[in-house]
Amino acid sequence: MGSAIRSDRQLLREQLTPDARGLIVAMVGLPARGKSFISRKLERFLRWSGSTTKTFNVGKYRRDAVVPERSGRSEFFDNQNPDSVAAREKLAMLALADAIKFLDDGGKFAIFDATNSTVARRRSIADQVRAHGHYSLIWVEAVCDDDEVVKFNMLTKVKYSPDFKDMSADQAMADLTARIQTYSEIYETIQDSEGAFIKLFNLSSKVMANHCYGRVAKSILPYLMAIHIGSRPIWLARAGPGSTKGQTGSDRDSTLSEEGQQFAEHLAAFVQKRSRRYWETSGNPQEQTKVFTSTMPRAVASAAHTSVLPDKRSALNPIDKGVLGAGWWDVECPDDLPPWREVEKRHPDFMAQPGA
C-alpha cells in the first residue's frame, strides 16, 4: 500500500533514472576555461570504456567555414554585430545537428563543445534534443575564477589554437582577452531549472552536480571529479617471458621463465630509477607509483619486484588467440603477427587444412 504513494520528487527521480538511447554532453563556459581539454579527456575515457563517442567542436566548424585569420579574431565575437552573431549561431546549430545524427547512427555519447554561454542558446539546444525524444542532455560547465589557472589556460590556447597562428604571443593574448571580455558581458551561469548539469570549478577543485542519475552518475561524474591537468609518467610493458602449462591455450597457468624473472627485476629497477628522476625534477611532492596488471599470473609476477601491490584488472587480460600455438607463440614471437613459417613447421596438419 505504501509503495503506491509516491511524492512528486520520487516521480521525477523515476523519470530521470532510466538511460536514454544516447546522451549529449554539452559544454558551457567562457573561453580558456578548459572546455575543449575536458571534452577530449572525456571522449578518450568513454571510448576506452567501450562506448561509441565523438566530440563536435564548434570552433572547428567555425574555422572550416571562415578562415581563422578572420573568424578567430575578437571582432568576430562582437555581440553587437548581427551578422557575426547569426554566423556563429548557424555553425553551432550545424554542429548540434551532426551530433544528433551521430546518435541516430548508433553513437552513445556526443560531446557538444561550445561556449553555450546564454540561457537562450541552451534553451534552443534543449528544445532540439527534446524534439527527438530518444536522447538525454547534460550540461558540463567549466567555471574558473583562479587567475593562475585562467592564465595557464590562456597561454595554452594561444600556443596551440589555429585562431592565433602567425600572431605574436602578446598580440594573441590581447586578442583572447578581448574575446573573453565580449563573452563575459552576456555570460549566464547554469541554473537548477535548466535540468541535469555538472559544474567543475577550477578544473575540478570543486564539483557540483544536479539531477545526475544512471550512467552519468556511474561513469561521467566520477571521472570528471578526478580530472586534472597535471602530468605523470606512464610506462607500458608486456609480461616477461615464460611458459604456459597444459594445452588450454590460456595464460591462466603461466609462469615466468628464468629470463622472465630477470626481466621482472630489471623492470622494477627501471621504474624506480625513472620515477625518482621524474619527481626530483617535477617540483611536486612525490606520489606513490601505481602498478596495473592483468589477472594472469605471469603478468602479476612481472610486477612482483616493484614493491607495490599491483592492481589486477581483467580488462588488461590478453585476447585469447586460441589453442593453436599455446606455450610458444605468445612467448617466443616478438609481435602479434602470426609466425606462419613456424606454424607450418610445428603444426603441419593445421596448415594442410583447406583455406589455411
Task: Express each pLDDT in 76-126 by its tens digit.
Answer: 888 888 988 999 999 999 999 999 999 999 999 999 999 999 999 999 999
Q: What are phi and psi of 310, to 5 degrees?
A: -70, 150
pLDDT (0 to 100) of residue 337: 64
User: CATH 3.40.50.300 region(s) of the chain?
Assistant: 19-226
Return the higher-pLDDT residue of 202 and 100: 100
Q: By three-state DSSP, how is residue 75 classified?
A: helix
pLDDT (0 to 100) of residue 332: 67
What single DSSP character describes residue 164?
A: G
Contact 17, 213 (CB under 8 A): yes
pTM of the model: 0.72
| Arithmetic mean of pLDDT, 156-169 | 88
19-226 folds as Rossmann fold (3.40.50)
C-alpha cell at 213: 542519475
User: d(Cα 259, Cα 226) in Å, to the nearest integer?
Assistant: 39
